[in-house]
Amino acid sequence: MSEIKNIGIFTSGGDAPGMNACIRAAVRTAHQCKIEVTGIYEGYDGLINAKFNKLSPIDVSGIIHTGGTILKSSRSEAFMTPEGRKKAYENMKAQGIDALIAIGGDGTFKGAEVFNQEFDVPIVGCPGTIDNNLFGTDYTIGFDTACNTAVEAIDKIRDTATSHNRMFLVEVMGKDAGYIALHACVAGGGEAVLLPEQLDDLPRLMRFLKEKSRGKIFANIIVVAEGDETGGATEVEKLINMGYPEYETKVTVLGHLQRGGSPTCKDRLLSGKLGMFAVDALLQGKFNVMVGEVHQKVKFTPFHEAGNKEKPLDPDLVRMSETLVI
């Protein structure tokens, strides 16, 4: 504990609801341990450009319910170069920062791992991404809020779909992972879901539509992850229109709407726990790891495992998405 006097904290990559709650928890935990916290603005670019500001418990008051990140975020091309990382390290040491807490996703942790290897910087990561695609934690910060946003949108879209007997293809975020799509489809009562992890979902959708086309055309909600191999909701719509012109289709792309908004209770609790344990990890000498939660227990996972190990979809939810269809 005596070796770390000042912890730097930053958010990197895509923003996620709950990042502010995580910052708040880390700052207040460090304060209890008589440790200073330095806020680093705009992610790794902030380290390179020396965008620092001390954070006290008062500075993080009133942010637990806010979306986005008070520290701003970015994806830094400069940090990908040895020169950029050297400058970041020099600025960090000049500021008196002894260790770092990085809140972000896979790219954030890859950068943190390299930084640790080159300069032996103590770093702990908190999984902040709505995609929920990191190994070593059941849920990532922002995922639950993004799912709730998607389900709320699907509920509203279903009203107009039912009024006109239309089929809506709702595209949600997930370039490489279908967690949001799967959860939102099951919770929103969707008739089908297309996921990046499954290569046979389009043929199954076509068989489903063929079967339904024999009777009365009802409203349908098809949830499509943006990273599905078909090419997204617009491309799926084209294929449906070619094969089944009797369906009147509409596409709704939720896009960045899923990243915003006040974090849910679940995300606030998760963010607070991870922020608190990130500080604990640094003070206990646990470096170069992501702090996550598995079965409601805190778990520390090396950065290279968090980003590279496969995190499969819940098979029960997959079965539900295929079984609970009207």
What domains lie within the chain, and their CATH numbers? 6-142+263-308 (3.40.50.450), 143-259 (3.40.50.460)
1 falls in which pLDDT band (50, 70, 90)?
very low
Average pLDDT across the chain, whole number: 93
Quote the CA–CA distance of 321 and 316 in Å, as a whole number: 9
- Of the residues 98, 106, 131, 267, only one is catalytic, namely 131
Quote the CA–CA distance of 47 and 13 in Å, as a whole number: 14
Residue of 298, 294, 306 lying closest to 272 (CA atoms) = 298
Express each pLDDT in 218-236 by its tens digit.
Answer: 668 999 999 999 899 999 9
**Residue that has been written with the tokens 């297309």 in this structure:** 194
Catalytic site residue 280?
Answer: no
Predicted local distance difference test score (pLDDT) of residue 326: 54
| CB 39, CB 53: distance < 8 Å | yes
Q: Across residues 41-54, what is the average pLDDT?
A: 96
**What are the two backbone dihedrals, phi and then psi, of residue 67, each rounded to the nearest 5 degrees?**
-85, -175
Predicted local distance difference test score (pLDDT) of residue 201: 84
245 falls in which pLDDT band (50, 70, 90)?
confident
